[in-house]
Chains A and B, each alone.
Chain A
């Protein structure tokens, strides 16, 4: 069975850091690009970052460039999002998602991890 499970969400003060993890099961993890997509409460979906299967290529939206870092561990089938200098506007549910193929849709999504940035 193919699934993704996020962890590491929580409440954090502005300016602090948080690291999200996503455990992958049931597929050849290193063969697929992976993404983080977030959704603020009551809002739409926003793509945040993506990483290639081998981990050599990463991309980010402008709003998080220089503050967030996406990485992966292909030995332990895990995806990460290191979030530094957090802002209240980063508060959202963060989903990890698997690419179906290169430049393709995301066919598998995790259940999401809630991040709340508040003093």
Chain B
């Protein structure tokens, strides 16, 4: 059973860089998307971006200028860096595994494994 264990600094000052990592155990990194997702207080889930096992990345257009997601297959980890954080980046951050299935011409994206979450607070 695949499990994700995440860690990283939880208290940042404005303009600092957020850095989180996520370790994958119990399964392969191949064939999946490895994502970061956040949930600001009182708001809904927001996709930040993803990488695959070879490091091909896609980022949310609204965060692309500040975000880097990387993967280290030898350590079975992937990471998130977000620069120049502000109070608006205060949120619960999750790493997660995604898969796309195809049923004929119709696709279905599933996010089927989630990390435990990291509370990130940006405050001066």
Partners in one complex: no
Binding site for A on B (CB under 8 A): none
